[in-house]
């Protein structure tokens, strides 16, 4: 939620105040770019929490395929707006607003879609994986109860 919500706000700021100074633009852009790595790093844990461990590898592969497709389609959409706005070299900051606000819309859709996602009921998980996970969670407690570290 932070990734999508704060990213949405950062894109709005980039579109509205990013042209006021180079420092503001660069700061906003760097934080937005850093979110890509942050999201990439948290996805496996997020998928495990939602779907369990059994199929997380296959689900992660599908997610990365969608992420790659978005990495191709997103710039094509923004470039379509810029191509319609004028020739390269003659564009001004205002010409980028439509592309940036399109990204805000996409992040908004993602934010709402994420709110609608519910974890898969554990009855659909692999029973052996669930049992193994339960044993793993109990190990630290059992070591503590025996006086271990």
Has residue 9 got a pLDDT over 50? yes
Query: Hey, is 125 helix, strand or coil?
Result: coil
Through-space distance between the first and last CA atoms of the chain, rounded to whole angstroms: 36
Average pLDDT, the chain: 82
Any residues with CB less than 8 A from the CB of 51 and at least 6 apart, and which? 59, 119, 120
How far is CA 43 from each of CA 27, 64, 106, 116, rounded to the nearest angstrom?
A: 25, 10, 18, 17
What digits encode the pLDDT tens for the residues 96-138?
A: 889 889 989 999 998 999 899 887 777 776 666 556 655 555 5
Q: Please, are residues 35 and 3 in contact by the beta-carbon 8 Å criterion?
A: yes
Has residue 143 got a pLDDT over 50? no
**Average pLDDT over every residue of 64-82:** 90
Has residue 14 got a pLDDT over 60? yes
The rounded percent of the chain whose pLDDT value lies above 70 is 83
* pTM confidence score: 0.71
Query: Hey, is 91 helix, strand or coil?
Result: coil
């Amino acid at each position: 939620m932070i990734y999508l919500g704060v990213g949405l706000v950062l894109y709005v700021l980039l579109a509205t105040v990013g042209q006021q100074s180079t420092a503001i633009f660069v700061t906003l852009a760097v934080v937005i770019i850093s979110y890509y790595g942050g999201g990439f790093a948290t996805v496996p844990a997020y998928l495990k929490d939602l779907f369990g461990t059994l199929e997380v590898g296959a689900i992660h592969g599908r997610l990365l395929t969608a992420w790659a497709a978005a990495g191709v389609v997103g710039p094509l959409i923004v470039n379509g707006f810029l191509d319609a706005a004028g020739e390269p070299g003659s564009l001004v900051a205002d010409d980028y607003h439509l592309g940036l606000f399109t990204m805000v819309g996409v992040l908004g859709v993602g934010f709402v879609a994420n709110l609608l996602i519910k974890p898969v009921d554990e009855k659909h998980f692999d029973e052996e994986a669930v049992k193994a996970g339960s044993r793993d969670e109990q190990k630290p407690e059992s070591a503590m109860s025996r006086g271990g570290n």
